[in-house]
Amino acid sequence: MIHKKNNTFLFFSQWFNRSKEANLSYSTMSIIIVMSISTTVAEMFGLGIFLPIFQYMKTDGDLEILVSESVVWEYIISIFKFASVDISLLALLFISFFFFLGRQVFTYMRVVFKSAVTYRLVKELRDKLFSKYLNADTTFHDSTSIGSISNVIVVESIGAIQTLMQPLEMVTYLIMAIGYLSILFLLSWQMTAVSIIVLSFASLAPSVWIKRSSQVGRGLVKANIKLSAFLLARLKSPRLVRLASTQQAEKDEFNRLTQNQRKKSTYSSILLARTDSALEPLIIGLSLIFLYISYTYFNMQIEMIGLYLVVALRMMPVSKGIISQWQSIQSSLGSMEIVENKLDSMEVSKEIDTGVLQFNKIKQSVDLLDVSYCYPIREDDALKNITIKFKVNEITAIVGPSGSGKSTLIDLLPRLRLPKVGSIRVDGIDIAKYKLKSLRQLIAYVPQFPQIFDGTIRNHIHYGKSDASSEEIIEAARLAGAEDFINQLPKKFDTELGEDAVRLSGGQRQRLDLARALLAHTSILILDEPTSNLDAESEEMFKRVLTQIHKDTNTIIIVISHRLASIVDAEQIIVMNKGNVEMLGTHSELLNKKGWYAEAWTMQNPITK
Ligand code: ADP
Ligand code: MG
């Protein structure tokens, strides 16, 4: 019992903090509570006036008897006199109707206001989650499944806000209950005492179910997350599943997950329904027993009993509401916890931007000095004491077996990952000193598998520079070798691309994305495996493009490539192996040395030389 009290106390102190965190202001809470009070007051008057109505009917409207029987009538008579209206049964009934109408207006306003607040908070929470997700560092993104984070943003956010709003609803019910109890108190204090006892008993009865609700709620959140994570991964790669002929296994696994989710959801609803159903007969039963006792032993007046019945009936959903709201809170607490958990871990992994300097242009070079990097979950370093130089107006190619650290190296330049030791300098100044945004604006990066958002071709290229003119866009497309295929599309630059641009081939996507990168005219251009999706002809074209950019701009070009033929002209070729720079030189220098490069070259070009 003490344990339970502590829990409740803890819940409310946390609730205040959470409300503050979610921007649920005291004034908003107050408005909701004031509306609840208004509803209750209107209802109390609407119900309360039935006592004089019954009395009026019993005495056939004899005002003298009525005044002598109760003080209430003195007030009623003076109010009617003030309004210069004759007292009649119709007038009294009309007043009661008027109060109920008022109650309904207040209820409507409260519901509308509460919904507006709820959805505003859900929206703000989603915005906050998304923004924190974008602000988190690469390590966080590496370790978070998009299925789980999307579930938290879309689904659990609603549950989380409900745990904030439901206590207000509970307070609403509590206020109403106090209102009803006050009427009962006016009727008879014995009745009130018994009603309170009835309510307390009723609220204890479903405590087991309520406790179970919070456990099931947490389980449900886990089930939802597992389901979304699994689903998103499979939705993204139906081809893989089909080509591997693992449809049946995937279906079975999905079936298991939906089954688990179904069980938890159903059980959660059953628990809520149990409380709901058990409370009603309990309250009615106890009320009827009390009614019997008060009639048989206390000789209560019939109009009192009538009013009591009315109040008891009205009060039932309210007292039920208090308890079932509490249970709903418990069952959605899991959602709040997972949202907080994600918010916290994203806050901890927040990308730190302590730089103050603003970039202008790179004049000479970018240097890596003795740089090592280690993935948090790995023991050995993915990059080991790397010292290299990328010069302006030069193409640097990075080659080497897969897993040798090429992509990791690239991630260090825009500070997507931070070196464990060593430093990276631009014209001699550590890049940590620059503002992240200004550093990243220096770099255009074309990944191996470009991500193309929904929208038009033009929009995609625009992503590189939002204020570019139409001419610039066409020019960038031409330079990237994308103009020809774009002009063959039905609406040319205004062609809508479906999700992930499925209608473009791999090579076309890369060229489109290259256009985006070129449009930005950045000082550093990084291309990861640009020729992996290209045929021999496009590869030739790509080489020409590269030479063209090389001549025209003051850029550092970094190309990661498996196809050595596409990078023979590079001023510098870096051969990576197991996190080390194994060799470094021009094509002919490397060919003359024994090692990975010469072997790979012979394997890829068996006839030449
Ligand atoms: P490459 O691009 O040359 O194929 P990577 O830079 O992607 O190689 O990988 C270098 C090493 O780091 C590999 O051993 C790889 O398994 C590991 N690695 C890459 N990404 C991660 C990651 N997100 N978490 C842990 N280890 C990683
Ligand atoms: Mg790679």
| AA identity, residue 349 | S
Decide if 351 contacts 436 (C-beta within 8 A): yes
Question: Which ligand 1 atom sits closest to the C-alpha of 410?
Answer: 6
Q: What pLDDT is stored for residue 607 in this prediction?
A: 66
Name every protein residue with a CB atom under 6 angstroms from any ligand 1 atom.
142, 375, 377-378, 382, 402-408
* Digit-coded pLDDT (tens) for 498-531: 655 557 777 778 888 888 888 888 888 898 877 6
Find the 66 Cα to ligand 1 centroid distance in Å: 91
d(CA 358, CA 454): 32
What does pTM read for this prediction?
Answer: 0.80
DSSP letters spanning 583-604: EEE-HHHHHTS-SHHHHHHHHH
Q: What pLDDT is stored for residue 535 in this prediction?
A: 65
215 Cα distance to chain centroid: 22
Name the residue of 145, 377, 408 whose CB sits within 8 Å of the most ligand 1 atoms, as the mutation to test its pocket: 408
Find the 578 Cα to ligand 2 centroid distance in Å: 13
User: Which residues, other chains included, contact 80 with Cβ-Cβ below 8 Å and sequence gap of 6+?
Assistant: 86, 87, 91
557: three-class secondary structure by DSSP: strand
Do the strands 524-528 and 556-560 form a parallel or antiparallel pair, or are they unpaired? parallel
d(CA 152, CA 4): 29
Find the 416 Cα to ligand 1 centroid distance in Å: 14
DSSP state of 395: E
The closest residue, in CA terms, to atom 25 on ligand 1 is 375
The closest residue, in CA terms, to atom 27 on ligand 1 is 375
Q: What pLDDT is stored for residue 3 in this prediction?
A: 45
d(CA 377, CA 143): 10
Question: Which ligand 1 atom sits closest to the C-alpha of 579?
Answer: 10
Please provide the size of the chain in residues: 609
Give mean pLDDT in consecutive 10-residue pieces for the chain, a chain of 609 residues. Answer: 57 84 88 88 84 83 80 84 86 89 91 93 95 91 87 92 89 84 76 73 78 87 87 82 82 92 91 83 75 74 74 78 84 88 90 86 89 88 91 88 89 90 90 88 84 79 78 82 80 73 72 85 83 66 74 82 82 90 86 83 72
d(CA 475, CA 486): 12
Question: Which ligand 1 atom sits closest to the C-alpha of 405?
Answer: 6
Name the residue of 407, 420, 576, 577 whose CB sits within 8 Å of the most ligand 1 atoms, as the mutation to test its pocket: 407
Find the 353 Cα to ligand 2 centroid distance in Å: 26
d(CA 175, CA 181): 10
The closest residue, in CA terms, to atom 21 on ligand 1 is 375
Name the residue of 143, 379, 402, 404 whose CB sits within 8 Å of the most ligand 1 atoms, as the mutation to test its pocket: 404
Q: What pLDDT is stored for residue 552 in this prediction?
A: 64
**Residue 314 structure tokens:** 């009205």
Q: What pLDDT is stored for residue 515 in this prediction?
A: 86
Of all ligands present, the nearest one to the C-alpha of 578 is 1
Of all ligands present, the nearest one to the C-alpha of 142 is 1
The closest residue, in CA terms, to atom 26 on ligand 1 is 375
Find the 114 Cα to ligand 2 centroid distance in Å: 51
Find the 569 Cα to ligand 1 centroid distance in Å: 27
